[in-house]
Structure 1
């Protein structure tokens, strides 16, 4: 199971440490934060104790109004489950009693100036990516007109050269050689780099190039949702068809199915152009448009008119 530490969370969001500075090595294993409002009033069914606990104005104002005896009961009932940490939003003050409870149980207490709703949205997005299951595959990841594509093929087939042509046409590199795939949901696969190869593209006969230095900031982006898996293969005579609409094929990564397309290479074939066409065609299909259906309708209309 993947995990991150409270320390990495504190550094990422520049959180102020109010208590438990020596406990920032505690691990976080669950995505999505939790606001323990119901738990403070005594309802603990389905309490997600493994999650980061965020205290907004509602929770803190409620605690402020309690007597010392009531606080001992309600706060004590929550901290005894030892969640990874508590984060107070909106720079709220008057937290001495909360600090004492956290110190007694060894739980980090942190604070941010951001508003609750905005902070939770950022925190959940970060945790979802940081804790997502991931694998590394050999290939190239590019973003073509806003559409993420995983480009695969045998070593030396021309993946990086094709990516370079796409970059020259205004598209973006995400990763070369090693593509890190993260499963954000049963339907969502995110492609990224492994930090070491960030912005680099390896071109045979040329060497390693930095696409940002060569073509500017617009030539690169850190991540992209993968919606097409395109494999470059060597040309084989009499294996390609020219059907109006091909039977859809899929690849599967960590249980996520991605549409698969094979593009065979031959001298003079505009591979980058075909990838652009595949990306734009995928987008049109998402909008409910099919070129094959429109063509058949035209034939039917022509036959009916004749």
Structure 2
């Protein structure tokens, strides 16, 4: 698992921000996934101040600073600046920020503003969403990632077992490729794993005997999806005679990715077997289980009257 970090410069580029101060310190690192809007800190409460986070100053904070006396403003801003957060961002414009700019230049902290006025709460939602993904712990796995019926599926298996060929069949049935060969997994939360590509292999599918295919060029934009939440892990294996389980319902198994458990199952491959169809069935069955439905339970409930009649005999 790789712990990620980004720089203030990455934020500037991503959101096209203007740098008012601290341009020489844009390499300050950001390691926290959420921004912070200081409030209590301006009145002297620093017990739980997340100094490692990007600090957002909206209209409320700026108006509060404007109302202070010059001496009081120096103290309030100086207290926060002394903790050296990675940067300050003001989404509501630059009017009256001369004093804040002075403090940031002196402390070596980048002061950034948006190119146009933005509602602070809406800007926070955007930058938080970006930081969660950009700083998410990640790992790479060998496999294929697909979106089938809106459900993210990770296909694994030994090299040459037929993962990419199966993916190609699924694409032909209207499903979407996310990544082939190298799948990047990002941990967004304790329950969420996001699957995506590594940029270099984006839109490419490698098929033995044919080589590389660009699925977007061949099948259109709907054949590719940039990322998907992984809901199901499927291990493709070679056919083993008399090794298939024919129980009414399989006991749930899981695979662990960075502490997140993903439901997992095995599908054996054999010439003539509709593996793509089985994957579609697995996706639909997973969805039904999320709705609380079990085909095995319904089947057994239909047999209960028969069992009752047998017992009476």
**When the two structures are superposed, what TM-score results if normalisation uses the length of structure 1?**
0.98
Match of 1:181 in 2: 185
Answer yes or no: is 1:117 the counterpart of 2:121. yes
For residues 109-167 of structure 1, the C-alpha deviation after alignment (integer angstroms, 9 at most, x for no partner) is: 00123211111111111111111111111000000011101100111111001111111
SS of the residue aligned with 1:173? strand
Match of 2:7 in 1: 5
Answer yes or no: is 1:148 the counterpart of 2:152. yes
Answer yes or no: is 1:15 the counterpart of 2:17. yes
Q: Aligned runs of 1:126-141 on 2, under 5 Å?
A: 126-141=130-145
Structure 1's consecutive aligned runs of 4 or more residues displaced over 3 angstroms after TM superposition are 301-306
Q: Aligned runs of 1:1-306 on 2, under 5 Å?
A: 1-112=3-114, 113-304=117-308
Shift of the alpha carbon at 1:90?
A: 2.5
Q: What number of residue pairs does the alignment pair up?
A: 306
Contact 1:57 1:92 (8 Å CA) reproduced: no
For residues 208-261 of structure 1, the C-alpha deviation after alignment (integer angstroms, 9 at most, x for no partner) is: 011111111111111111111101000001111211101111111111111111
Coordinate RMSD, CA, aligned: 1.1
Query: 2: CA distance between counterparts of 1:301 and 1:93?
Result: 78
Contact 1:7 1:25 (8 Å CA) reproduced: yes
Query: 1: CA distance between counterparts of 2:291 and 2:167?
Result: 26
SS of the residue aligned with 2:121? helix
**When the two structures are superposed, what TM-score results if normalisation uses the length of structure 2?**
0.95
For residues 152-195 of structure 1, the C-alpha deviation after alignment (integer angstroms, 9 at most, x for no partner) is: 01111110011111111111000000000111111111111000
Structure 2 runs not aligned, ≥5 long: none
Shift of the alpha carbon at 1:304?
A: 4.7
Query: 1: CA distance between counterparts of 2:21 and 2:119?
Result: 21
Shift of the alpha carbon at 1:45?
A: 1.0
Shift of the alpha carbon at 1:282?
A: 0.5
SS of the residue aligned with 2:12? helix
